[in-house]
Structure 1
């Protein structure tokens, strides 16, 4: 997890603009560099580094002797960089995985480069010889990226929106900078031309990879046979294996649910096979009596991990809300609720262990139809369409939560369920096969690992629980605790009037209004970055908690 930041075509004092870069220091606590570019007025590139691979030579902005006219800043991991080096006979100057982006671009252009990358990434590439700037982001948007692009030639990019909110656009007719901030779209590359004054003109946006589409790149090969369940196991196993690429210690978030348990089990398996010389650490969080804590403990004992449990109180969770919303840059109800536990757990990991790379189970519910409301899908085809819609929007919800909650504490999260090879195979299986079966969500995924002995059967077939539900006791859910607290903070009449003050996504509950007020205080004018509140489909409910749904299993 790192932080990238750049401006082009600034007419203001560039030193003033550069003050904004320090708003994302948390993403890269190991090192910092900021660099202007000769003959490009108003241009500056900056980088906050979390060193994962090649501690000595991996600093950015990156340049290599073969292509000195190219400047690269990127955040992410490219898992097939060694395969590409061998395939194209690249002469690397560093051992850093991101260097391959430079060589791929020099060989075949930016779309060719992006299509060949197996990983989670966002990048900004400056080609000084051709006066071009390129922005790109991975298929699912696992690594965040925001930009400002104005008709007057100002271009800025940053890992988080907060690094753009204080930039000066004094030459623009509209002074409110937040009107221009928008995400770099996942699975796309954008190109800009720079004039002699460093001003940027937008050229085009190209989608280089679609969700569910088979990627073209070569990576850790998995032989696809006729046994569908065996293919699922092998592809997920390979997705985990490639994500062990790191020079820092690797650990796992472990809720005791299906997804995190499978990931942890595969990490332990591959770590043993590759001779990793430290025990894998697993991390669970919950309140007193949490179902997640109890389940995670069983999995840890089964896998023989070095297990860490964090028990938090209602008071600690509530006290963290404002800070969590600050890091999230979101007011979505489900996202905020679930992020509190993940944020507090990441804090513990940073302060008490040396694990830096953290594997997690995000993405499985969207890919494998794990949400309880999928039981109510009218047809398998409707369920498939909803699954793909969720995947398209992941970067604004669960993926956003995973990135920000961990990056707040200088950790890097990796999500093997969003591996391109795994997801393209799984999403193209027959729709009926992927739907809930026999009243069990994610039935295909569960049955694929049945009999493998990776995790206990009671965990393999454990019913779905939302993260914000599992962290609390069966008697009183985390969302009920939040609502009890917020009920005392917000008057009833404020909710009735909220649509007048917040016409976009008007809050309909006290909890929604409370989160929105905190968000607006920190990010006025940016509410549009969240297009809608995440809510279950096909069911009548006013709350996104799984515990409010008919199919919820105690």
Structure 2
């Protein structure tokens, strides 16, 4: 049985979007008794009546009476109290309010008081303990407000000296879900990545292992041996973040986000994806180009294999997911839906392997968003309990500083798409999810971007896809990680699992961009054609910020906060090599970014959206 939970942010949205939707929903549900009894005021339920623009159904006005028409519940915010949980009606100054419309069966028990979420922190030197405490304070959001594990490590052997010199050290992070005494297994699993190269490890079993993520799919990992030898590793695509602070040409601290290192120094660098740091030196673990090969499978067999690999990645992500205490009930797992091919494929795979009863789906957009009706269609088709979140200009302006702070970037296309991600992740967290699935990676693997169709000769498309994947850690993958981690969520990106990526690079380009129709991601669509609505399978690629409707909203926000004089003052200013400020949006994002991150080295960690300029 599907459920819809709709969040509307102002009366204009309610009067327009909600009226049309509720009318259709009531018509579709006519003669059925699938909705719960009406909940009135009290017992945690708050009735909300909009302003002058009122909802109407069958001649009945107002949300309070609408609830009695077909069993709709009109409820207040069920999550934690948040200062940013509501917005007003544009510039009209009407009273703020928040409305939810719920139908269907109640949610299952949700995860409460889970273990620490993904984080990794290492400080060295005489002030290691104090530095670690300062870093930990800046990443409390990643741990859901809980304290990470603090294993006792007196010193580590760092630097390129021979032998590496020992220095005081302090570590904090997430314990891997390995059985007692089997923590070393997590270290060996990083070498299960396809085409992984050999790296000499310290002798014996590591005494301490911390891991953000789940090797070999997505992880950053730190291991310390009894003699102080230390190893750090990051997955091939950089799905999990890791940075380091350099002093005197050697790393002295590591952290999951840039902001943690800003408290310690200025020379902040990206820990390169697909690398390990051991014995004071970086070593390449894998090259994505090594995964490019040919397969003897025909298109039908390749599609079947692809579907299985997606399902396997979903299942692994859940099996290694967030633990829960005894008696907490089964955790609710979130699906972040855009109604596009990638997120819909992941949702279908999740239903196949996990069952719809433990899944909650979420979508966000403006009242005229293209994503919302398609995401709703997918949720209904798969029998999911679904939440739609409708936002407007004022709410976007309110959360924008937080979005840029967590994102650690001012790349304009990335900021636009991150706002919608931030809002939808907030809803998932408020609903009790701690683990969410996303569709990131499908465009890079299966040639989803339109500009790729113009590349000649065709064999150069694979080269461009490799470039996109290698830069994803500072672009789309960074967006997914930061916007979910901002709310204490762990993201899973099944379409970017190493074995699936390797299989995708065995697929001919003509099975990605169809030679006759020009349809992008053709094989991925074929793999799930019989599990999703036809309109969704055939939906053309749209950038997330376009489908959600956020692009126009962001332009309006910038127009109100950046004057023409400010734009002329900064127009053409080069703020990074080859990057200039040319629009009010860019000026606004850069201004907010600099308030949070004054260090020049932080700008060097930013990736720039390639598909917009290519």
Which residue is equivalent to 1:93?
none
How has the CA–CA distance of structure 1 residues 392 and 80 changed in structure 2, closer, same or farther, with 3 Å as cutoff? closer
For 1:140 and 1:398, how far apart are their aligned partners in 2? 11
Which residue is equivalent to 1:148?
245
Which residue is equivalent to 2:13?
none
- 5+ unaligned residues in a row in structure 1: which ranges? 59-63, 82-102, 168-176, 193-201, 216-222, 539-554
Q: How does 1:107-126 map to 2 (within 5 A)?
A: 117-126=215-224
Q: How does 1:276-291 map to 2 (within 5 A)?
A: 278-291=357-370
For 1:282 and 1:149, how far apart are their aligned partners in 2? 42
Secondary structure of 2:523's counterpart equals helix
How has the CA–CA distance of structure 1 residues 531 and 349 changed in structure 2, closer, same or farther, with 3 Å as cutoff? closer
- 5+ unaligned residues in a row in structure 2: which ranges? 1-116, 157-166, 193-200, 324-330
Which residue is equivalent to 1:191?
278
Which residue is equivalent to 1:456?
533
- Find out whether 1:529 has 2:608 as its counterpart: no
Secondary structure of 1:243's counterpart equals helix
Secondary structure of 1:477's counterpart equals helix
Q: Per-residue deviation at 1:519?
A: 1.1
Secondary structure of 1:42's counterpart equals strand
For 2:263 and 2:391, how far apart are their aligned partners in 1? 35
Q: How does 1:465-480 map to 2 (within 5 A)?
A: 465-472=542-549, 477-480=552-555
The answer to whether the 8 A contact 2:336-2:436 is kept is yes
The answer to whether the 8 A contact 1:498-1:513 is kept is no
Q: Per-residue deviation at 1:135?
A: 1.3
Q: Tell me which of 292, 306, 309 is aligned to 1:232.
A: 306
1:346-373 CA distance string (max 9 Å, x none) = 112212x122110010011111111122
For 1:128 and 1:537, how far apart are their aligned partners in 2? 50
Q: How does 1:492-511 map to 2 (within 5 A)?
A: 492-496=567-571, 498-499=573-574, 505-511=579-585
1:403-431 CA distance string (max 9 Å, x none) = 00000000011001101111111112223
Q: Tell me which of 257, 272, 284 is aligned to 1:207.
A: 284
How has the CA–CA distance of structure 1 residues 537 and 325 changed in structure 2, closer, same or farther, with 3 Å as cutoff? closer
For 1:448 and 1:236, how far apart are their aligned partners in 2? 10
Q: TM-score with structure 1 length normalisation?
A: 0.75
The answer to whether the 8 A contact 1:367-1:423 is kept is yes
Q: Tell me which of 163, 170, 178 is aligned to 1:44.
A: 170
How has the CA–CA distance of structure 1 residues 465 and 358 changed in structure 2, closer, same or farther, with 3 Å as cutoff? same
Q: Per-residue deviation at 1:137?
A: 0.2
Q: Per-residue deviation at 1:258?
A: 0.6
The answer to whether the 8 A contact 1:328-1:400 is kept is yes
Secondary structure of 2:434's counterpart equals strand
How has the CA–CA distance of structure 1 residues 231 and 492 changed in structure 2, closer, same or farther, with 3 Å as cutoff? same
The answer to whether the 8 A contact 2:572-2:582 is kept is no
Q: Tell me which of 409, 425, 431 is aligned to 2:509.
A: 431
Q: Per-residue deviation at 1:384?
A: 1.6
How has the CA–CA distance of structure 1 residues 298 and 105 changed in structure 2, closer, same or farther, with 3 Å as cutoff? farther
Q: How does 1:408-423 map to 2 (within 5 A)?
A: 408-423=486-501
For 2:526 and 2:182, how far apart are their aligned partners in 1? 50
Q: How does 1:114-513 map to 2 (within 5 A)?
A: 117-129=215-227, 131-151=228-248, 155-167=252-264, 177-178=265-266, 180-192=267-279, 202=280, 204-211=281-288, 213=290, 226=298, 227-245=301-319, 246=321, 247=323, 248-272=331-355, 278-351=357-430, 353-437=431-515, 438-450=517-529, 452=530, 454-472=531-549, 477-488=552-563, 491-496=566-571, 498-499=573-574, 505-513=579-587
The answer to whether the 8 A contact 2:132-2:172 is kept is no
For 1:388 and 1:502, how far apart are their aligned partners in 2? 24
1:486-517 CA distance string (max 9 Å, x none) = 55476232233623x66663323221122112
The answer to whether the 8 A contact 1:79-1:243 is kept is no
For 1:307 and 1:420, how far apart are their aligned partners in 2? 30
Q: Per-residue deviation at 1:268?
A: 1.0
Q: TM-score with structure 2 length normalisation?
A: 0.68
